[in-house]
Amino acid sequence: MLIPQTSTSLADCLRLRRQKLANLIKFPVILWSGTNSPRNFPANPFPFRANSHFLYFAGLPLPNAAIRLEGGKLELFMDDPSPSSTLWHGEMPTRNEIAQKIGADVARPMTELESWIEDAVTLAVQDAATWTQQSQLLNRWVLPQSPPQGIDLDLAKAIASIRLTHDEAALTELRKAAAVTVEAHKVGMAATPQAKLEAEVRAAMEGVIIAHNMTTSYNSIVTVHGEVLHNEHYHHPLQPGDLLLADVGAETEMGWAGDVTRTWPVSGKFSSTQRDIYNVVLAAHDACIAKIQPGVEYEDIHLLAATVIAEGLVELGIFQGNPQYLVEMDAHALFFPHGIGHLLGLDVHDMEDLGDLAGYEEGRKRSDRFGLSYLRLNRPLRPGMLVTIEPGFYQVPAILNDANVRSKYQNVVNWQRLSEFADVRGIRLEDDVLVTAEGSEVLTAALPNDADTIENLVGR
Amino acid sequence: MLIPQTSTSLADCLRLRRQKLANLIKFPVILWSGTNSPRNFPANPFPFRANSHFLYFAGLPLPNAAIRLEGGKLELFMDDPSPSSTLWHGEMPTRNEIAQKIGADVARPMTELESWIEDAVTLAVQDAATWTQQSQLLNRWVLPQSPPQGIDLDLAKAIASIRLTHDEAALTELRKAAAVTVEAHKVGMAATPQAKLEAEVRAAMEGVIIAHNMTTSYNSIVTVHGEVLHNEHYHHPLQPGDLLLADVGAETEMGWAGDVTRTWPVSGKFSSTQRDIYNVVLAAHDACIAKIQPGVEYEDIHLLAATVIAEGLVELGIFQGNPQYLVEMDAHALFFPHGIGHLLGLDVHDMEDLGDLAGYEEGRKRSDRFGLSYLRLNRPLRPGMLVTIEPGFYQVPAILNDANVRSKYQNVVNWQRLSEFADVRGIRLEDDVLVTAEGSEVLTAALPNDADTIENLVGR
């Protein structure tokens, strides 16, 4: 475990965060960091990822550790490195050194944790070894698959309310993630003319992230089949007429995420049909960002995107009818079947381990409307919230070839006209947007998104 | 899930493998593939890695699947893709298409598995969701942390005996992994002069692996602190006098692993002390490979490495005394504290999920000798076995500064002379060596290892 040099104010930042928590929660809180998840055998694990709630209040990705928070005090529980771990993993900072760095009031070995669990609330970590330990120590099931229950639910609500808006320390990390994410996309565009496979563009992009000693914040999507929304294959050859959709984000060493999508022509030139649709998606993107300001409902941003897309498709002759009416009947979801975005922070879908607790304002539930059910965020915007804005256009065979869907939307789609856009399988444009007191700030603004500049970045 | 084009003979290869199993095991065998392990929330998992035993007999990395093997017959259990999974993940091959590809006799939905579990034996997968399911269906604990018990132990022994030597289909994959691993190391050497951080060299190397649509077979080690044996940090700057140790391997899409280490000078020129030690390690490496042939005990290969290293260090004046005697007192382990290598196959430490069952000949146990306790393989070699040969020299502070160690080896180490080699913190050289009827074949031979050629590859 490396103690970063930039952490001089880490202790101060963490003190403010736990003071906020102490104002909301009177129970003692214990947060575990988690341990390695094994890959094909225990000694060959996936790279360690600390639990995000732990990271938020402990500041460092310490494996096999826990913190206890009560009344604004921070107690660190972790074991000093054993002699054999020093042999294999080198000299590590001691528990006391880490405690000092993060401003812990007390530091104890992990074995003492069981003496301090009375009345404690917690949140489940993802790895089985640790949630088993949580359940045993607390003598109740703490399962990552289930939403928090009972007194843990109060903790979840409190943490969600705190993590919903970002402090300066978080924003410093989020800007770092955004900058490296932007660079990865630029390098991906520049690498495309020399690449024969999707995998080669992915390699160029992830190479940037690895070179900055960061990791990807989610499994990258780099595909000429953008119509497959979660496409994690990279084996397709790049053909001159293809659009390449890249949804790739960097995560800093301290766990803060970037999340950006661009779509560019493999040849360096959009076809006229590709450019037409690209500009519809871009118009939706720009309209949404222009509308972002405190007090605006995120659902309205989503519906604005739907309306701008519907308007654009009417203009192109793909839809026929009134755009407002098309959105009311969810026709936009034929081509834009997902939500306009989500919260971004320590998780790429921030706090999604708590279900919709962070994404949805208390009392609100997911809609079962075709055009709204995948919306992950439904709250009024507040300064300090970081959201993605990611409109798209996709020709998903599973949607467009569905007999019920075709019959329902028979008269609003000009299927003949649509067939002229066959070279547009999937386009998405995604940026990371901070809500500010004045409106918004696009953290990923350094990455161009207009069609001409994108063509120039791809070059040839 | 992509069905690879190269799998025309996959069904034949799998038939032979399960025939071997049927000759050894009369119980029905059920092997699960496993599911995604969550990273920070369930929808953001680590990349899927199928269980290696499943992969060996099913041939394809199918998530959420199981196979049942009995009397040479293959039954596939998996669910057809749901409509919503088609929306998010695109068109996938059906259960019947996959069954045909792998030569399954029957294909059934996953829900039917519970009707076919009577008297079945199995091996634990690593992810908690699946081993919980295994335990529930079989009504006994099947835990990845524990060695197989009871009737499962017979299965483990049978599979270990089969997977111990590789068939042609496996070797085809292992050669692919070796070739990409070799290319990654060459690119890493060439990238070093432009790199400022370890992370940048790692990025160049892993970029090659990603570009070939492969993954790393373990978390890469790319470090100027080679004396930290499992160093997974990449933040150190590269200084002109440093040696860079890179232990990086590719894993093919079907799960077969490469595992190679090279150590090169950041400046492109070894110092005279670095070159002296490098050549000692190289001599051990070459002597071990020259000795490999069927019937030779792997432990003797390890002891040969120890002897050659001891001889070399006597010649350099670091050790004083008779090399044979130095090895008997484990003095070599002061500088070479790990084993000479391990099995390689679907796992980078092949079948280490079974503990020492595959690595150690029946009836043999780990030695508690300082110089032997980390030896992961202790069997007579047989044609078709693939092993690594990876001697090294390290100045590990935790060993060399230990008062007991220093006093025990006070008279055999010339500590004054040793201090002249302070610029050699860690050197390791590792290749993947196939035991053949005639002797051996180095699958990674295309990667040079002599000091002069290494210097040329680094360039400057």
ipTM of the complex: 0.95
Residue whose token pair is 């290969």: B301
**B309 vs B324: CA distance, rounded Å:** 11
Give residue A140's pLDDT.
Answer: 92
A451 vs B91 pLDDT, higher one: A451
- Reference B223, options B206, B208, B202, B204; nearest CA is B202
**A253 vs B137: CA distance, rounded Å:** 40
Distance (Å) from the C-alpha of residue B437 to the closest C-alpha of chain A?
Answer: 30
Give residue A4's pLDDT.
Answer: 52
Tell me whether residue B195 is exposed, middle or buried, using C-beta atoms within 10 angstroms of its C-beta: 0 to 12, 13 to 18, 19 or more. Answer: buried
Of B90, B200, B231, the CB nearest to A231: B90
**B198 vs A450: CA distance, rounded Å:** 36
Give residue B147's pLDDT.
Answer: 83
pLDDT in tens, chain B (460 residues): 445 544 458 999 999 999 999 999 999 999 999 999 999 999 999 999 999 999 999 999 999 999 999 999 999 999 998 877 887 888 888 999 999 999 999 999 999 999 999 999 999 999 999 999 999 999 999 988 778 988 899 999 999 999 999 999 999 999 999 999 999 999 999 999 999 999 999 999 999 999 999 999 999 999 999 999 888 899 999 999 999 999 999 999 999 999 999 999 999 999 999 999 999 999 999 999 999 999 999 999 999 999 999 999 999 999 999 999 999 999 999 999 999 999 999 999 999 999 999 999 999 999 988 878 889 999 999 999 999 999 999 999 999 999 999 999 999 999 999 999 999 999 999 999 999 999 999 999 999 999 999 999 997 6
Give residue A87's pLDDT.
Answer: 78
**B322 vs B300: CA distance, rounded Å:** 18
**A455 vs B450: CA distance, rounded Å:** 46
**A248 vs A206: CA distance, rounded Å:** 8
Give residue A7's pLDDT.
Answer: 47
**B143 vs A122: CA distance, rounded Å:** 26
Residue whose token pair is 């790692």: B202
- Reference B277, options B237, B227, B342, B228; nearest CA is B227
Judged by CB atoms closer than 8 Å, whether chains meet at B42 and A200 is answered as no
**A456 vs B331: CA distance, rounded Å:** 62
Q: How does B291-315 read in b/e, with b if 16+ C-beta sit within 10 Å? A: bbebebebbebbbbbbbbbbbbbbe
Q: Measure the N-to-C terminal CA separation of chain A; round to a whole number of Å.
A: 43
Distance (Å) from the C-alpha of residue B338 to the closest C-alpha of chain A?
Answer: 10
Give residue A8's pLDDT.
Answer: 54
Give residue B52's pLDDT.
Answer: 98
Local structure of B30: helix, strand or coil = strand
Average confidence (pLDDT) over A155-161: 97
Domain boundaries, chain A: 7-163, 168-458
pLDDT in tens, A343-353: 999 999 999 99
**A411 vs A425: CA distance, rounded Å:** 22
List the beta strands (DSSP E) in B217-278: 221-223, 243-248, 250-251, 260-265
In degrees and rounded to multiples of 5, residue A253 shows phi and psi of -60, -30
- Residue B187 tokens read as 């690119």
Residue whose token pair is 């045993």: A136
Judged by CB atoms closer than 8 Å, whether chains meet at A145 and B213 is answered as no
Judged by CB atoms closer than 8 Å, whether chains meet at A398 and B87 is answered as yes
What is the residue-wise DSSP string for A138-193?
Answer: HTS---TTSPP-HHHHHHHHHHHHHHTS--HHHHHHHHHHHHHHHHHHHHHHHHGG
Give residue B4's pLDDT.
Answer: 52
Give residue B7's pLDDT.
Answer: 47
Q: Cα dist. A10→A166, A313, B351, B409 in Å? A: 15, 49, 43, 45
- Reference B42, options A444, A58, A145, A180; nearest CA is A145
For residue A128, what is the nearest residue in chain B, using CA coordinates? B128
Q: Taking CA A444 as the corner, what is the angle to CA A443 and CA A450, rounded to the nearest 5 degrees?
A: 135
Residue from A35, A40, A53 whose CB has the most chain B CBs within 10 Å, to mutate: A40
Judged by CB atoms closer than 8 Å, whether chains meet at A2 and B200 is answered as no
For the beta carbon of residue B191, count every other beta carbon within 10 angstroms: 20
Beta strand pairing status for A66-70 and A29-32? antiparallel
Reported as half-sphere exposure (CB side, CA atoms, 13 A), residue B16 has a value of 11
Residue whose token pair is 């259990």: B77
Q: How does A406-438 read in b/e, with b if 16+ C-beta sit within 10 Å? A: eeebeebbbeeebeebebbbbbbbbbbbbbeee
For the beta carbon of residue B45, count every other beta carbon within 10 angstroms: 20
Q: Fold match between A7-163 and A168-458? A: no
For residue B54, what is the nearest residue in chain A, using CA coordinates? A40
pLDDT over 60 (residue A40): yes
Give residue B88's pLDDT.
Answer: 81
**B219 vs B222: CA distance, rounded Å:** 10
Percentage of the residues of chain A whose pLDDT score is greater than 90: 90
- Reference A272, options A424, A419, A453; nearest CA is A424
Element (H, E) at A199: helix A198-211
- Reference A309, options A203, A390, A370; nearest CA is A390
pLDDT in tens, A64-122: 999 999 999 999 999 998 877 787 888 888 999 999 999 999 999 999 999 999 999 99
- Name, in order, each residue with C-beta under 8 angstroms of A409's C-beta and a sequence gap of 6 or more: A329, A331, A334
Sign (positive or negative) of CA dihedral A36, A41, A44, A47: negative
A–B: how many Cβ contacts below 8 A? 175
Local structure of B277: helix, strand or coil = helix
Of B218, B219, B231, the CB nearest to A90: B231
**B437 vs B174: CA distance, rounded Å:** 18
Give residue A16's pLDDT.
Answer: 97
Residues paired with B442 in a beta bridge = B433
Q: Could you tell me the fold of the domain covering B7-163?
A: Creatine Amidinohydrolase; Chain A, domain 1 (3.40.350)
For the beta carbon of residue A148, count every other beta carbon within 10 angstroms: 22
B371: which chain A residues are within 8 Å (Cβ-Cβ)? none
Residues B168-458, CATH architecture: Alpha-Beta Complex (3.90)
What is the residue-wise DSSP string for B84-127?
Answer: HHHHHH-----HHHHHHHHT-SEEE-GGGGGGG-TT-B----SS
Element (H, E) at A222: strand A221-223
In degrees and rounded to multiples of 5, residue B227 shows phi and psi of -70, -15
pLDDT over 60 (residue A363): yes
**A320 vs A338: CA distance, rounded Å:** 22
Q: What is the mean pLDDT of chain A?
A: 95
Judged by CB atoms closer than 8 Å, whether chains meet at B207 and A212 is answered as no
What is the residue-wise DSSP string for A227-288?
Answer: TSTT-----PBP-TT-EEEEEE-EE-TT--B--EEEEEETTSS--HHHHHHHHHHHHHHHHH
- Residue A125 tokens read as 């970590």
Q: Taking CA B458 as the corner, what is the angle to CA B456 and CA B459, rounded to the nearest 5 degrees?
A: 65
Q: Cα dist. B178→A241, B96, B185, B248, B348 in Å? A: 34, 33, 11, 11, 12
Judged by CB atoms closer than 8 Å, whether chains meet at B207 and A206 is answered as yes
Give residue B146's pLDDT.
Answer: 77
